[in-house]
Amino acid sequence: MTTILQISDTHIIPKGSLVSNVLDTSASLKKLVIRINKIRPQIENIDCVLVSGDISDDGSSESYERFKLILAPLLLPIYVIPGNHDSRENMRKAFLGSGIFQKNGPLNWHKKIGSVNLIGLDTLIEGQGGGILLPESLDFLKEIINKLKSEPIIIALHHPPFKTDIKFMDAIGLKNINALKNILSEYKGEIRIVCGHIHCMMVTNLNNHIALSAPSPCSTFSYDTRSNAPVGFMNIEDGCLLHHWNNGFNSIRIGLSCGSGPFPF
C-alpha cells in the first residue's frame, strides 16, 4: 500500500502576525501535526506529505522556514506546489532540498512514491488570485502521461480543475480547465486529481477520473452559491486528506479533532 498525506492552504506568515488580523494559522497547523502523529498507529505507514499550495500567506522566505519547522515532527518527505499566495522563487529556494524543482521555470515535478506516480503542477500567476497551466506545464504533463501508459497517478495542482459554484472563488479559478481535460481524456490507468484553494472538500468527475479538493487546517469557505454571497472566509479549522493506493485509490478526510469515544454500540 502507498499512502500520501495531503495538506493544503496553511497560509503561514512570519511570527507575531495574524492572517487578516484573525487567523493564527501556525497554531492551526501545529494542531494538525499533533493530530496526525497521534493517529499514525491507526493509519499504518505514511510515505510522504503533499502540500497543495498556499503554504504561505505572504510568500515570504520566513514563512516557508516557519512552515518547515512546524512540519518537522512528522519526519516525512515533503513535496510542495505553489498556490496563488505563494512566491515561486522563495518556494524554490526553501524546498530546494527536496530535489524535485528545476532551477528555473514553473515548479512542475514528478516523483514515484511507492506504487504511485505523484505529479505536481504549477498554476501560479504571480500577483493574481486565478491560476493557469502554462503551455510548458501542459507539455510536461502530457510527456509524463504518455510514458506511464497505465500506472496509477495522483496529479496535484492548487486551483480546482472544476467549477465550485462559489462565485467569488470561481472568479479566481483555473483559466484553462479544458486543456487539462484533453490531456486526461485518453489515459487508460487510474488518475486521482487533487487540489486546494477552496478551503473545503468537494468531489467531482473529470473525464472519468475523480477530482477532489482538500480542506484547510486554518479556515473554511462557505458553500454559498448566491450571486451576492459575502466574500470572505469562516473562522473554522479543518483537517487534511489521506490518499491510499492498494490496487485502487481511496481518499479519506482526517479532521482536526476526533471527539470522544469510541463508544460501544
Q: Which three cell numbers stand for residue 49?
A: 506529505
CB atoms within 10 A of CB 192: 22
Predicted TM-score (pTM) of this structure: 0.96
Give the Cα separation of 13 and 60 in Å (integer): 7
The vertex-220 CA angle with 85 and 10, nearest 5°, equals: 40
Tell me what pLDDT residue 262 has.
87
Tell me what pLDDT residue 186 has.
81
Alpha-carbon separation of residue 14 from 39, 68, 110 (angstroms)? 29, 12, 30
Q: Which fold has domain 2-254?
A: Purple Acid Phosphatase; chain A, domain 2 (3.60.21)
Tell me what pLDDT residue 44 has.
80
DSSP string, 16-58: T--BTTTB-HHHHHHHHHHHHHHHHHHH----EEEEES--BSS
C-alpha closest to that of 140 among 113, 125, 121 = 121
Tell me what pLDDT residue 35 has.
96
Tell me what pLDDT residue 216 has.
98
Q: Which three cell numbers stand for residue 258?
A: 476526533
Output the tens digit of pLDDT for each of the chain's 265 residues.
999 999 999 999 999 889 999 999 999 999 999 999 999 999 889 999 999 999 999 999 999 999 999 999 999 999 999 999 999 999 999 999 888 998 899 999 999 999 999 999 999 999 999 999 999 999 999 999 999 989 999 999 999 999 999 999 999 999 999 999 999 988 989 999 999 999 999 999 998 999 999 999 999 999 999 999 999 999 999 999 999 999 999 999 999 888 888 899 8
Tell me what pLDDT residue 218 has.
96
Tell me what pLDDT residue 11 has.
98
Tell me what pLDDT residue 254 has.
95
Alpha-carbon separation of residue 29 from 12, 147, 242, 252 (angstroms)? 9, 37, 16, 18
Q: Which three cell numbers stand for residue 46?
A: 505514511
Query: Could you tell me the residue ranges of all domains in the chain?
Result: 2-254
Give the Cα separation of 265 and 255 in Å (integer): 22
Tell me what pLDDT residue 224 has.
94
Tell me what pLDDT residue 97 has.
85
Q: Which three cell numbers stand for residue 222?
A: 462557505
Tell me what pLDDT residue 149 has.
86
Give the Cα separation of 199 and 215 in Å (integer): 5
Largest CA distance in the chain: 57
